[in-house]
Structure 1
Amino acid sequence: MIKGLNPVALINPPGIFIVFGGLFGVCIAAYGMDAMKRLPTYYKTAFNTEPPDLGGNVVLMHHFADRARRDGLLALEEEANQIEDPFVKKGLGLVVDGSDPDTVAEVLELEIESMESRHRTGHELFKGAAGFAPTLGVLGACMGLLKAMELLDSPELLGPAIAAAFMATLYGVGAANVVLMPISESLKAKTAAEVKSRQMVIEGLLAVQAGDNPRMVAEKLMAFVPPEQRLSVEEQMEGGRPNLKAVDGGAEAKAA
């Protein structure tokens, strides 16, 4: 805080109305009311969602491969009924039903594309708002300066009027760079992480369907896991059956 600056001086109702009221209006015009209604979900996803459990995916696919090798693919129907993650559940169901591997991959890739499309609305909304906000701030400043010009004959009032006018610019630039753009980048990064997790699941399910050795399935999927987490994953695989209800559904499932 600047020495001697009264925090109350940072509050300018007309500037707040012009920047944030205008921002709400232009975002509705650009992205629609349905996207605006999902703002709480976007905020929740940006700040509260943990990254997908890639190690858990390795353990899960290793378990599926082991069960399929011992009891056959049809035995995985029992596992599918216990899984809460809809993406894994759908993929495993296709495998159990004997679908062609190309069909399994195609269906699940379409699911990923659909998820990316839904998520794109969120991070593009915040990115667009970050572009609109500074412009609205300048607009508010111009309106405030026009009012200040009426006070040229009153020097004691002119300074505060000009300062108040520039508050709108502060609101616009601050909101864009401190709030809106970081949220957009956070949502974009979380989408990329979830896509990576789902692609990992596809690779695992196709390997299970092909009858690969459980150890080879795990080794293949370890490429997705950061090196510092791999020892922990090895220990989990040695621990036996995973908790199927604890399978991470990703940001989309948690935000629903």
Structure 2
Amino acid sequence: MDILSIIGVIIGFAAIIAGNSLGGGEFAFLLNAHALIIVIGGTLGATLLHFPPKVFWQSIKISRWVVAPLQIPLRAKIKKIVEWSALARKEGLLGLEGIIELEQDGFAKKGLQLLVDGNEPDVIRDCLEVDISTREHLDLQAANVYSAMGGYSPTIGIIGAVIGLIHVMQNLANPELLGAGIATAFVATIYGVGLANLLFLPVANKLKAQVLLISKAEEMMMEGITAIAEGENPRNIELKLSGFLLD
């Protein structure tokens, strides 16, 4: 679990609540159902219009990575690739057939199958690069769903503020109704800007980092499998792949 994500959300929203309290404001002033409906509903509606269904559902699917990121042990993967290389040199590429059935990683499994089938290194690389590019494109688009929400919510918050001010202007003759209109106006702005900068945009960036880490692991796997196809020495393969650990 990524505890920093949880701590970050708590600190962000707690800071606003605490600052409001220290300034003499009451927590109840920050609660406004009208403003919340405007900002959340408007932002969601604009986002649904912006993206195709496949991308939107993928964004929901990968949202769990914010608090439960995928564990990608690069060192363990390098060790596994080196073992595959040693086995291929000892028993030939067909010696890897038994490994395919045991491998849980679908990307690695496809690469090994291409390898055992006797494909040329360039063919293996081209096939795996298509997989990497396609998966990365979809996941980055899914992460951009939250970036878009971070762009829309402040604007929707301004719309909520304008609506609140319209209500204020319509009720100038009824002072008892002015408070509700003014509250909606300012709270809607807080909701829009706060959700964008404390939730949507940070979530988008966290997901993009996870997507790039997955791509890095897949690129490393691709380089290792193509190196085996080229008949490189296991030690050289290990040294080559260790470059993926430098950052």
Give the TM-score normalised by structure 1: 0.83
Post-superposition offset of 1:159: 5.0
Partner in structure 1 of residue 106 of structure 2: 86
Q: 1:117 aligns with which of 124, 133, 137?
A: 137
Looking at both structures, which has the greater relative contact order when contacts are Cα pairs under 8 Å and sequence separation is at least 6? 1
Q: Which runs of 4+ in 1 moved over 6 A?
A: none
Partner in structure 1 of residue 169 of structure 2: 149
Distance 1:42 1:142 in 2: 35
Structure 1 unaligned residues grouped into runs of 5+: 228-256
Partner in structure 1 of residue 52 of structure 2: 32
Post-superposition offset of 1:51: 4.6
Post-superposition offset of 1:6: 1.8
Q: 2:146 aligns with which of 120, 123, 126?
A: 126
Post-superposition offset of 1:157: 5.3
Alpha-carbon displacement from aligned partner over 1:25-57 (angstroms, at most 9, x marks no partner): 111111134433344313112321135221112
Post-superposition offset of 1:8: 1.6
Map residues 1-256 of structure 1 onto 2, 5 A cutoff: 1=18, 2=20, 3=22, 4-153=24-173, 158-159=178-179, 161-226=181-246
Post-superposition offset of 1:206: 1.3
Q: Is the 8 A contact 1:141 1:166 kept in 2?
A: yes
Partner in structure 1 of residue 8 of structure 2: none
Give the TM-score normalised by structure 2: 0.86
Q: Is the 8 A contact 2:158 2:189 kept in 1?
A: yes
Alpha-carbon displacement from aligned partner over 1:216-240 (angstroms, at most 9, x marks no partner): 111111111148xxxxxxxxxxxxx
Alpha-carbon displacement from aligned partner over 1:155-194 (angstroms, at most 9, x marks no partner): 5654553233111011110111111111111111111111
Distance 1:147 1:171 in 2: 19
Distance 1:133 1:212 in 2: 53
Count of aligned pairs between the two proteins: 227
RMSD over equivalenced CA pairs, Å: 1.8
Distance 1:205 1:143 in 2: 60
The one-letter amino acid paired with 2:189 is T
